[in-house]
């Protein structure tokens, strides 16, 4: 005889299962900059991509199980191509693809014994920054519109806190990459601060976060942009020498912005005085006040300085 499990308990167990699976992955960051939308995630593989193109001005980023979100990516590309062929290319939008992903994931979460351990972001670059669209879709089919930036996967709370603190409108590509690297370094900085004894560990962790370093090189990062200046297909990967140049510029700018101010030069001392010299006591002859009467021993009433 099978055991009875309430629907609430079954949904809660599925949600916990998928959440733990996504939390084991590495974080991904998507944020706006002046020239488009930037996507950054740690990835040592050069062929198993977490970030990909969906359509002309639409990109896809995912974390979790690769086989599951790769199937979703392929299905999303097919949906976009069929929609653009049947109707018009302008009818393919990030909102439509995000809604399709939400329906698919929601159905799998409700009907399948095992939910997908994935989290997805669909982004579309517009003609102006205020027309950009970023949608986040979770494993249970929940879709949300996120303005400006979003972090998902891994230790998302720490990454999101750094993004919220450092993100601003009008960032350049170099500045946006520096913000993304600092956010991705937040979990590493927190671990370093917790492991250190006294203030040394916290200082090392803060330095790592300030420099935007999490031990990631160009070969360990997957970086792509939706370039607003491009007319047709806006998706472009950043790799090789171009990515190394951007990493060097962003880390140098971050280090310069977070460097402590230089100590001010000590005030110059007057000649004849030193730090150990004591002021000579003043005598009556050394007084700054003018004499007001005859000097002692004078009989003509003319003030005279005292005899030395």
Residues contacting residue 90 through CB under 8 Å, at least 6 positions apart: none
pLDDT tens readout for residues 215-230? 688 999 999 999 999 9
| DSSP 8-state symbol, 54 | E
Tell which wins on pLDDT, 77 or 199: 77
Handedness of CA 105, 110, 112, 116 (dihedral sign): positive
What's residue 193's pLDDT? 54
Enter the pTM of the model. Answer: 0.77
pLDDT beyond 90 at 237: yes
Q: How many helices (H) and strands (E) does the chain have?
A: 8, 10
Calpha distance 207→211 (Å, rounded)? 6
Confidence of residue 292 (pLDDT cuts 50, 70, 90): low
Residue for token pair 């250190």: 196
- Strands 36-42 and 221-227 turn out to be antiparallel
- State how far the Cα of 141 lies from the Cα of 205, in Å rounded to an integer: 36
Whether residue 282 has pLDDT greater than 80: no
The mean pLDDT of the chain is 83
Each residue of 69-96: pLDDT tens digit?
999 999 999 999 999 999 999 999 999 9
Give the model confidence (pLDDT) of 7-51 as tens digits. 999 999 999 999 999 999 999 999 999 999 999 999 999 899 999
Return the closest-CA partner of residue 138 out of 94, 170, 191, 101. Answer: 101
Positive or negative, the CA dihedral 169, 174, 175, 176 is positive
When computed from its CA atoms, the radius of gyration of the chain, rounded to whole angstroms, is 33
3-state secondary structure of 170: coil
Q: Which CATH class is domain 7-258?
A: alpha beta
> pLDDT confidence of 201, banded at 50, 70, 90?
very low
Res 129: pLDDT:
92
Evaluate if residue 195 carries a pLDDT over 60: no
Q: Is the pLDDT of residue 209 over 60?
A: no
Contacts of 115 (CB under 8 A, 6+ apart): 14, 15, 17, 18, 108, 109, 139, 140
């Amino acid at each position: 005889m099978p055991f009875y499990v309430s629907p609430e308990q079954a949904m809660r167990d599925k949600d916990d299962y998928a959440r733990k699976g996504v939390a084991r992955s590495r974080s991904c960051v998507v944020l706006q900059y002046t020239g488009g939308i930037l996507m950054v995630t740690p990835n040592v593989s050069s062929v198993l991509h977490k970030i990909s193109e969906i359509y002309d001005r639409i990109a896809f980023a995912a974390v979790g199980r690769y086989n599951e979100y790769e199937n979703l990516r392929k299905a999303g590309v097919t949906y976009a191509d069929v929609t653009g062929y049947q109707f018009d290319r302008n009818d393919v939008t990030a909102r439509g693809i995000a809604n399709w992903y939400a329906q698919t994931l929601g159905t799998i979460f409700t009907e399948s014994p095992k939910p997908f351990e994935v989290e997805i972001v669909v982004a579309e670059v517009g003609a102006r920054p205020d027309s950009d669209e970023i949608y986040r879709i979770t494993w249970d089919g929940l879709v949300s519109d996120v303005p400006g930036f979003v972090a998902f996967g891994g230790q998302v709370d720490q990454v999101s806190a750094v993004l919220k603190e450092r993100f601003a409108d009008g960032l350049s590509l170099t500045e946006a990459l520096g913000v993304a690297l600092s956010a991705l370094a937040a979990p590493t900085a927190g671990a370093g601060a917790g492991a250190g004894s006294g203030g040394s560990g916290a200082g090392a962790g803060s330095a790592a976060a300030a420099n935007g370093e999490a031990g990631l090189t160009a070969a360990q990062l997957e970086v792509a942009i939706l370039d607003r200046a491009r007319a047709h297909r806006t998706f472009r990967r950043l790799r090789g020498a171009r990515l190394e140049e951007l990493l060097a510029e962003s880390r140098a700018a971050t280090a310069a912005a977070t460097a402590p101010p230089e100590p001010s030069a000590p005030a110059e001392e007057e000649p004849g005085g030193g730090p150990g010299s004591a002021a000579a006591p003043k005598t009556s002859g050394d007084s700054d006040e003018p004499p007001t009467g005859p000097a002692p021993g004078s009989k003509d009433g003319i003030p005279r300085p005292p005899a030395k």
